[in-house]
Amino acid sequence: MASINEVAKQFTDYYYNTFDTNRKGLQPVYREHSILTWEGQEFRGAENIFEKLESLPFQRVQHKVTTLDAQPSNPSINSLLVLVTGLLLVDDESNPMQFTQSFQLIPDGESYWVYNDVFRLNYG
């Protein structure tokens, strides 16, 4: 069985690669009870979350993970809390922005879905 750090790495590799190359492909990671807080604004349910992600006002984006930490988030199921800090570059900008994103991932068979997702840009 993959360690919690391996699961977190596989998930974030998949998540940011999909975000950057085919945003539509993210839909399956969210479910009915998923919650996204994006820059302080809350969205509940896969459909609302996906609509928000699709509406983000940039054409191209590139995420680079700087730090990645994971912990078990529940003693009874193999869910995990993941904290990412990183840099992102949008469209023709040459200065990357710092971001922070925290997920809670819930296992379902061999895969995981996102129950909690909180995203923030870090301004200096």
Enumerate binding residues for its own copies (CB under 8 A): 33, 35, 37, 40, 42, 66-67, 69, 71-75, 81, 83, 85, 98, 100, 102, 104, 115-116, 118, 120, 122-124
For its own copies, the closer CB: 40 or 109: 40
For its own copies, the closer CB: 50 or 99: 99
For its own copies, the closer CB: 25 or 72: 72
For its own copies, the closer CB: 89 or 118: 118
Shortest approach of its own copies to residue 105 CB, angstroms?
A: 12
Q: What is the DSSP letter of 96?
A: P
Q: Which residue has the tokens 């699961």?
A: 7
Sign (positive or negative) of CA dihedral 60, 90, 80, 14 = positive
Shortest approach of its own copies to residue 36 CB, angstroms?
A: 9
Strand partners, 62: 89
- Between CA 29 and CA 16 the distance in angstroms is 12
List the one residue out of 26, 22, 38, 52 whose CA is nearest residue 102.
38
Shortest approach of its own copies to residue 22 CB, angstroms?
A: 26
Residues of the chain by 3-state class (helix, strand, coil), percent to 5 = 30, 50, 25
Shortest approach of its own copies to residue 120 CB, angstroms?
A: 5
